[in-house]
Amino acid sequence: MRATSGEPGQANTFDPTALKCVGILAARHKRRVADAVRELLGWLSARGVEARILEEHARGLGLEELAAGPDELVERADLMLSLGGDGTFLKTARLAAPRGLSVVGINLGGFGFLASIPRSDMLGGLADIMEGRFRVQRRLMLQATVWRKDKSVASFSALNDVVVGKGAFSRLFRIVTSVDGERVSDLPADGMIVATPTGSTGYALSAGGPAVDPEARVVIIAPICPHTLSARTLVVPAKRVVEVSLPDPRGEDVFLTADGQEGFSLVTGDRVEVQEAPFSAHLVSPPDYSFYAKLRGKLGWGSHR
């Protein structure tokens, strides 16, 4: 069996010979999702593999008999499948990572930077995986904790990024950023992004950050529209603790978002502490998967014309 991981010595977390149950998340708003799910279910059943679908997605697909809540899903599954775009993949990864479950992404969306198997090769790609032709990448995840008056009031995990940004009002607010307790910046901006290498090609890239090889163990700190010409993106080792705080009363309409999907309203005086999560995301992909090919194809870094 050919299987590799994101770091030397990292054990492969997925054994296709022991696959008995697959957990599925499917993007209900994507066209042709129902057809893809039903095709997948038939294929799995023919191979003696059970399937369960996240309950909210199962209802939307008319497959209530296969519905499972989040806890039941990750408890029963040996592997998680994401059918949709990057949003579905991020949700699947946050659900799977704390349990050490590996994730396979089938791209039914448009951009599809994270999902490694296209819809056109769904069954062929899964067949390769079940026959041992795959690799496993161990991806850094973040853990964000909101501190209010020295009390933890919220906690989130993220595969892509943690963002402290403005709400409905178009105005700057003051942001203080520290690394391992040492102040790095104090500036007015629209917000601050703390991203993983996986998330470096998302919001952070749009904010002027670098594209980072996803197997690197670093964290990207990128200000959003800072009101100064000297502000720059900073890259630090993953072992550092990044803190973003709001000392300015104008920070009342500010929110924390994790992977652009989970949010929490912040108030003046709050501190957001971001550090490497105690677990990683394990992404299963074809053996010929290439991050650099993704850059060429998805970001238009193609060929000279």
Q: How far is CA 189 from CA 122, 223, 274, 299, in A?
A: 43, 7, 19, 26
Count of structural domains within the chain:
2
The answer, yes or no, to whether residue 247 has pLDDT greater than 80, is yes
Q: Is 239 contained in some domain?
A: yes
Instruction: Assess whether 172 and 233 both reside in one domain.
Output: yes
Identify whether residues 103 and 134 lie together within a single domain: yes
Q: Locate the DSSP E strands across 248-300.
A: 254-258, 262-266, 271-276, 281-285
Task: Give the whole-number percent of the chain exceeding pLDDT 70.
Answer: 91
Q: Which pLDDT does position 12 carry in this prediction?
A: 44
Cα–Cα distance measured from residue 215 to residue 168, given in angstroms and rounded to the nearest whole number: 35
Q: Please give the residue range of the domain that contains residue 96.
A: 16-140+280-298
Residue with more model confidence, 17 or 243: 243
Catalytic residues: 86
How crowded is residue 203: how many other Cβ atoms within 10 Å of its Cβ?
A: 21
Q: CATH number, domain at 81?
A: 3.40.50.10330
Examine the pLDDT at 231 and tell me if it is beyond 80: yes
- The pLDDT score that the predictor gives to residue 57 is 93
Judge if 268 and 291 occupy the same domain. Answer: no
8 located within any domain: no
Is pLDDT above 90 for 32? no
Q: Are residues 65 and 159 in the same domain?
A: no
Which residues lie closer than 8 Å to 65 by C-beta, 6 or more apart?
A: none
Indicate if the pLDDT at residue 8 is higher than 90: no
Nearest to 26 by CA among 99, 94, 109, 100: 109
**What's the pLDDT band for 2 if we cut at 50, 70, 90?**
very low
pLDDT tens-place string over residues 147-199: 999 999 999 999 999 999 987 666 788 999 999 999 999 999 999 999 999 99
* Of 252 and 72, the one with more pLDDT: 72
Give the mean pLDDT of 132-150: 95
Q: What is the pTM assigned to this prediction?
A: 0.91
Mean pLDDT computed over 253-266: 94
Specify whether 121 is located in the same domain as 197.
no
In a domain? residue 90? yes
Q: Identify the pLDDT of residue 169.
A: 66
- What mean pLDDT do residues 57-64 have? 92
Residue 7 above 50 pLDDT? no
Average pLDDT over residues 257-284: 96
Q: Which residue has the higher pLDDT, 299 or 83?
A: 83
The yes-or-no verdict on residue 276 having pLDDT over 90 is yes
Give the tokens for residue 86: 């990057």
Q: What is the mean pLDDT of residues 2-8?
A: 37
